[in-house]
Copies of this chain bind each other. A is one copy, B any other.
Amino acid sequence: MQVFLNGRIVPESEATVSVLDRGFLYGDGLFETVRVFNGKPFRWAPHFQRLRKGAGFLAIPFSWSDAELTLAISDLLQRNGLSDGLLRLTLSRGIGPRGYSAKGANQPTLVITTHPLQIGQGLLQWKLAVSSLRVAAGDPLLTLKTANKLLNILARSEAEARGADEALLINTDGHLVEAASCNLFWIEQGTVCTAPLDAGALEGVTRELVQEICRGLGIPTAFKRISPPALYSAEGTFLTLSSLGIVEAVELDDQPLPRTKLTARLAESFQLQLLAEC
Protein backbone atom coordinates (compact mmCIF):
# COMPACT_ATOMS: atom_id res chain seq x y z
CA MET A 1 0.00 0.00 0.00
CA GLN A 2 1.15 3.53 -0.82
CA VAL A 3 0.35 6.18 1.79
CA PHE A 4 -0.20 9.94 1.55
CA LEU A 5 1.91 11.56 4.26
CA ASN A 6 1.94 15.37 4.44
CA GLY A 7 1.83 15.79 0.68
CA ARG A 8 4.21 12.97 -0.25
CA ILE A 9 3.28 9.48 -1.43
CA VAL A 10 5.41 6.87 0.37
CA PRO A 11 5.34 3.09 0.72
CA GLU A 12 3.53 1.85 3.85
CA SER A 13 6.84 0.72 5.38
CA GLU A 14 8.07 4.33 5.28
CA ALA A 15 4.78 5.87 6.43
CA THR A 16 5.77 6.77 9.97
CA VAL A 17 5.33 9.65 12.39
CA SER A 18 7.58 10.80 15.23
CA VAL A 19 6.93 9.29 18.66
CA LEU A 20 6.60 12.95 19.71
CA ASP A 21 3.61 13.53 17.38
CA ARG A 22 0.70 14.63 19.57
CA GLY A 23 -1.55 12.20 17.72
CA PHE A 24 0.51 9.36 19.21
CA LEU A 25 1.04 11.05 22.60
CA TYR A 26 -2.52 12.23 23.31
CA GLY A 27 -4.84 11.19 20.46
CA ASP A 28 -4.70 14.92 19.65
CA GLY A 29 -6.36 14.73 16.26
CA LEU A 30 -9.29 13.74 14.09
CA PHE A 31 -10.04 11.21 11.40
CA GLU A 32 -12.49 10.39 8.64
CA THR A 33 -13.45 7.04 7.14
CA VAL A 34 -14.78 7.40 3.60
CA ARG A 35 -16.37 4.64 1.52
CA VAL A 36 -14.81 4.16 -1.92
CA PHE A 37 -16.95 2.72 -4.73
CA ASN A 38 -16.08 2.44 -8.42
CA GLY A 39 -12.78 4.07 -7.54
CA LYS A 40 -14.51 7.20 -6.18
CA PRO A 41 -14.96 8.48 -2.63
CA PHE A 42 -18.66 8.48 -1.66
CA ARG A 43 -19.98 11.67 -0.08
CA TRP A 44 -16.53 13.21 0.08
CA ALA A 45 -17.81 16.77 0.57
CA PRO A 46 -19.44 16.26 4.01
CA HIS A 47 -16.43 14.23 5.20
CA PHE A 48 -14.09 17.04 4.15
CA GLN A 49 -16.35 19.62 5.79
CA ARG A 50 -16.51 17.67 9.05
CA LEU A 51 -12.72 17.31 9.11
CA ARG A 52 -12.27 21.04 8.53
CA LYS A 53 -14.92 21.91 11.11
CA GLY A 54 -13.29 19.60 13.67
CA ALA A 55 -9.88 21.12 12.97
CA GLY A 56 -11.42 24.55 13.57
CA PHE A 57 -12.93 23.41 16.88
CA LEU A 58 -9.62 21.93 18.04
CA ALA A 59 -7.65 24.89 16.60
CA ILE A 60 -5.49 22.57 14.49
CA PRO A 61 -4.21 24.64 11.55
CA PHE A 62 -5.65 23.02 8.41
CA SER A 63 -4.47 24.45 5.12
CA TRP A 64 -5.40 21.65 2.69
CA SER A 65 -8.05 22.67 0.20
CA ASP A 66 -10.87 20.43 -1.02
CA ALA A 67 -9.31 20.47 -4.51
CA GLU A 68 -5.84 19.46 -3.24
CA LEU A 69 -7.19 16.55 -1.25
CA THR A 70 -9.55 15.44 -4.04
CA LEU A 71 -6.54 15.25 -6.37
CA ALA A 72 -4.37 13.49 -3.76
CA ILE A 73 -7.10 10.93 -3.07
CA SER A 74 -7.68 10.24 -6.75
CA ASP A 75 -3.93 9.71 -7.22
CA LEU A 76 -3.69 7.43 -4.16
CA LEU A 77 -6.68 5.30 -5.21
CA GLN A 78 -5.14 4.81 -8.66
CA ARG A 79 -1.69 3.91 -7.33
CA ASN A 80 -3.20 1.41 -4.88
CA GLY A 81 -5.63 0.09 -7.49
CA LEU A 82 -8.52 0.45 -5.05
CA SER A 83 -11.95 0.40 -6.64
CA ASP A 84 -14.14 -0.74 -3.72
CA GLY A 85 -13.00 -0.15 -0.17
CA LEU A 86 -12.22 2.62 2.29
CA LEU A 87 -10.12 5.73 2.70
CA ARG A 88 -8.92 6.87 6.09
CA LEU A 89 -7.77 10.43 6.61
CA THR A 90 -5.95 11.10 9.89
CA LEU A 91 -5.14 14.64 10.98
CA SER A 92 -3.04 15.20 14.09
CA ARG A 93 -1.71 18.38 15.67
CA GLY A 94 1.84 17.21 14.96
CA ILE A 95 4.84 17.87 17.18
CA GLY A 96 4.89 20.60 19.82
CA PRO A 97 6.45 21.50 23.16
CA ARG A 98 5.91 18.88 25.91
CA GLY A 99 2.61 19.01 27.81
CA TYR A 100 -1.10 19.44 27.10
CA SER A 101 -0.87 23.05 25.98
CA ALA A 102 -1.32 23.23 22.21
CA LYS A 103 0.79 26.39 21.98
CA GLY A 104 3.66 26.05 19.54
CA ALA A 105 2.30 22.96 17.76
CA ASN A 106 1.60 24.48 14.36
CA GLN A 107 2.60 21.83 11.84
CA PRO A 108 -0.15 19.24 11.69
CA THR A 109 0.30 15.75 10.28
CA LEU A 110 -2.08 14.57 7.55
CA VAL A 111 -2.14 10.91 6.55
CA ILE A 112 -4.35 9.17 3.98
CA THR A 113 -4.45 5.39 3.76
CA THR A 114 -6.59 3.02 1.68
CA HIS A 115 -8.12 -0.22 2.90
CA PRO A 116 -9.90 -3.09 1.19
CA LEU A 117 -13.40 -3.96 2.40
CA GLN A 118 -15.23 -7.27 2.31
CA ILE A 119 -18.96 -6.73 1.99
CA GLY A 120 -21.26 -9.67 1.37
CA GLN A 121 -24.58 -9.54 -0.45
CA GLY A 122 -27.76 -8.43 1.31
CA LEU A 123 -28.55 -6.61 4.52
CA LEU A 124 -25.99 -7.10 7.29
CA GLN A 125 -27.41 -8.12 10.67
CA TRP A 126 -25.69 -7.42 13.97
CA LYS A 127 -26.26 -8.33 17.59
CA LEU A 128 -25.90 -5.45 20.06
CA ALA A 129 -24.96 -5.25 23.73
CA VAL A 130 -25.41 -2.21 25.97
CA SER A 131 -22.02 -1.01 27.20
CA SER A 132 -21.30 -0.51 30.90
CA LEU A 133 -19.40 2.68 29.98
CA ARG A 134 -21.13 6.06 29.86
CA VAL A 135 -20.35 9.05 27.65
CA ALA A 136 -20.77 12.59 29.03
CA ALA A 137 -24.10 14.04 27.87
CA GLY A 138 -23.48 17.31 26.05
CA ASP A 139 -19.73 16.81 25.44
CA PRO A 140 -19.08 18.73 22.18
CA LEU A 141 -16.08 16.48 21.40
CA LEU A 142 -18.45 13.54 20.88
CA THR A 143 -20.05 15.18 17.85
CA LEU A 144 -16.63 15.23 16.09
CA LYS A 145 -14.72 12.23 14.78
CA THR A 146 -11.79 12.64 17.14
CA ALA A 147 -8.82 10.31 17.53
CA ASN A 148 -9.81 9.69 21.18
CA LYS A 149 -11.50 6.34 20.81
CA LEU A 150 -10.56 4.32 23.88
CA LEU A 151 -14.09 4.28 25.24
CA ASN A 152 -15.40 3.02 21.90
CA ILE A 153 -12.65 0.37 21.77
CA LEU A 154 -13.42 -0.84 25.29
CA ALA A 155 -17.16 -0.85 24.62
CA ARG A 156 -16.59 -2.92 21.47
CA SER A 157 -14.40 -5.38 23.41
CA GLU A 158 -17.11 -5.74 26.08
CA ALA A 159 -19.70 -6.42 23.39
CA GLU A 160 -17.49 -8.99 21.65
CA ALA A 161 -16.84 -10.73 24.97
CA ARG A 162 -20.62 -11.10 25.32
CA GLY A 163 -21.01 -12.59 21.84
CA ALA A 164 -22.35 -9.40 20.24
CA ASP A 165 -21.06 -7.59 17.15
CA GLU A 166 -21.29 -4.03 18.43
CA ALA A 167 -21.84 -2.01 21.61
CA LEU A 168 -24.61 0.49 22.34
CA LEU A 169 -23.46 3.60 24.16
CA ILE A 170 -25.55 5.36 26.79
CA ASN A 171 -24.88 8.85 28.13
CA THR A 172 -24.72 10.03 31.74
CA ASP A 173 -28.41 10.99 31.54
CA GLY A 174 -29.25 7.33 30.76
CA HIS A 175 -30.19 8.00 27.13
CA LEU A 176 -29.18 5.97 24.09
CA VAL A 177 -26.59 7.84 22.04
CA GLU A 178 -25.14 5.64 19.30
CA ALA A 179 -23.13 2.47 18.82
CA ALA A 180 -19.35 2.31 19.35
CA SER A 181 -18.63 2.80 15.62
CA CYS A 182 -22.06 3.73 14.19
CA ASN A 183 -24.99 6.05 14.61
CA LEU A 184 -28.19 4.41 15.84
CA PHE A 185 -31.70 4.69 14.42
CA TRP A 186 -34.98 3.16 15.50
CA ILE A 187 -38.48 3.29 14.08
CA GLU A 188 -41.48 4.33 16.16
CA GLN A 189 -44.94 4.42 14.53
CA GLY A 190 -43.35 4.81 11.12
CA THR A 191 -41.05 7.64 12.21
CA VAL A 192 -37.30 7.13 11.80
CA CYS A 193 -35.68 8.36 15.03
CA THR A 194 -32.14 9.00 16.18
CA ALA A 195 -30.48 10.68 19.16
CA PRO A 196 -29.83 14.44 18.96
CA LEU A 197 -26.21 15.59 18.72
CA ASP A 198 -26.27 17.15 22.18
CA ALA A 199 -26.95 13.72 23.68
CA GLY A 200 -23.38 12.91 22.61
CA ALA A 201 -23.93 11.53 19.09
CA LEU A 202 -21.39 11.79 16.29
CA GLU A 203 -22.47 14.09 13.46
CA GLY A 204 -22.33 11.11 11.09
CA VAL A 205 -22.27 11.49 7.31
CA THR A 206 -24.47 8.40 6.81
CA ARG A 207 -26.71 9.61 9.68
CA GLU A 208 -27.37 12.74 7.59
CA LEU A 209 -27.79 10.68 4.40
CA VAL A 210 -30.50 8.53 6.05
CA GLN A 211 -32.42 11.67 6.93
CA GLU A 212 -32.03 12.89 3.35
CA ILE A 213 -33.31 9.53 2.03
CA CYS A 214 -36.29 9.67 4.41
CA ARG A 215 -37.16 13.17 3.23
CA GLY A 216 -37.02 11.90 -0.37
CA LEU A 217 -39.33 8.98 0.45
CA GLY A 218 -41.72 11.09 2.54
CA ILE A 219 -40.87 9.17 5.72
CA PRO A 220 -41.03 11.31 8.89
CA THR A 221 -37.89 11.64 11.05
CA ALA A 222 -37.31 12.80 14.61
CA PHE A 223 -34.58 13.33 17.21
CA LYS A 224 -35.46 11.59 20.47
CA ARG A 225 -34.01 10.65 23.84
CA ILE A 226 -34.87 7.09 24.88
CA SER A 227 -33.39 4.45 27.15
CA PRO A 228 -32.29 1.05 25.82
CA PRO A 229 -35.40 -1.03 26.73
CA ALA A 230 -37.51 1.19 24.43
CA LEU A 231 -35.82 -0.54 21.46
CA TYR A 232 -37.68 -3.78 22.29
CA SER A 233 -40.98 -2.03 21.56
CA ALA A 234 -39.73 -0.09 18.51
CA GLU A 235 -40.69 -1.39 15.06
CA GLY A 236 -37.06 -1.80 14.07
CA THR A 237 -33.50 -0.69 14.88
CA PHE A 238 -30.58 -0.09 12.56
CA LEU A 239 -27.06 1.30 12.54
CA THR A 240 -25.32 3.57 10.05
CA LEU A 241 -21.64 3.82 9.26
CA SER A 242 -19.65 5.14 6.34
CA SER A 243 -17.97 1.83 5.60
CA LEU A 244 -21.04 -0.46 5.47
CA GLY A 245 -23.98 1.90 5.05
CA ILE A 246 -27.01 0.47 6.89
CA VAL A 247 -26.80 -2.56 9.21
CA GLU A 248 -29.92 -4.08 10.79
CA ALA A 249 -29.85 -4.65 14.56
CA VAL A 250 -31.47 -8.00 15.35
CA GLU A 251 -30.64 -8.58 19.02
CA LEU A 252 -30.03 -6.44 22.09
CA ASP A 253 -28.44 -8.06 25.13
CA ASP A 254 -29.37 -11.56 23.84
CA GLN A 255 -33.07 -10.67 23.35
CA PRO A 256 -34.49 -10.36 19.81
CA LEU A 257 -35.34 -6.89 18.50
CA PRO A 258 -38.46 -6.33 16.34
CA ARG A 259 -37.75 -6.03 12.61
CA THR A 260 -39.44 -4.02 9.90
CA LYS A 261 -39.26 -4.07 6.09
CA LEU A 262 -38.53 -0.34 6.26
CA THR A 263 -34.93 -1.11 7.28
CA ALA A 264 -34.32 -3.12 4.09
CA ARG A 265 -36.00 -0.39 2.06
CA LEU A 266 -33.70 2.29 3.49
CA ALA A 267 -30.66 0.05 2.95
CA GLU A 268 -31.70 -0.38 -0.69
CA SER A 269 -32.06 3.40 -1.06
CA PHE A 270 -28.56 3.78 0.38
CA GLN A 271 -27.17 1.33 -2.23
CA LEU A 272 -28.98 3.18 -5.04
CA GLN A 273 -27.48 6.46 -3.84
CA LEU A 274 -24.01 4.88 -3.80
CA LEU A 275 -24.50 3.66 -7.39
CA ALA A 276 -25.90 6.99 -8.52
CA GLU A 277 -23.09 9.11 -7.07
CA CYS A 278 -20.04 6.87 -7.71
A134 touches B138 (CB 8 A): yes
Q: Using a CB-CB cutoff of 8 Å, which residues 159-175 of chain A contact chain B?
A: 160, 171-172
Residue in contact with A24 in the complex, picked from B92, B172, B181, CB distance below 8 Å:
B92
B150 touches A58 (CB 8 A): yes
A26 touches B102 (CB 8 A): no
B19 touches A147 (CB 8 A): no
The segment from A10-18, A41-49, A212-220 found at the interface with B is A10-18
Q: Please, how many angstroms separate the alpha-carbon atoms of A21 and B25 in the complex?
A: 12
Decide yes or no whether A236 CB sits under 8 A from chain B.
no
Decide yes or no whether A99 CB sits under 8 A from chain B.
yes
A154 neighbours in B (Cβ, 8 Å) = 58, 141
A24 neighbours in B (Cβ, 8 Å) = 17, 21, 23-24, 90, 92, 147
A148 neighbours in B (Cβ, 8 Å) = 26-27, 148-151
A141 touches B150 (CB 8 A): yes
Q: Can you pick out 29 interface pairs between chain A and chain B where the beta carbons lie within 8 Å of each other?
A: A12-B20, A15-B18, A15-B20, A17-B17, A17-B24, A23-B27, A24-B90, A25-B88, A25-B149, A26-B148, A27-B150, A28-B150, A100-B149, A100-B152, A100-B180, A101-B156, A101-B157, A102-B157, A133-B139, A134-B136, A134-B139, A136-B136, A136-B139, A136-B171, A136-B172, A138-B172, A139-B151, A141-B150, A172-B172
Question: What is A's interface to B at a CB cutoff of 8 Å?
Answer: 3, 5, 12, 15-21, 23-28, 31, 58-59, 86, 88, 90, 92, 98-103, 111, 113, 115, 133-141, 146-154, 156-157, 160, 171-172, 180-181
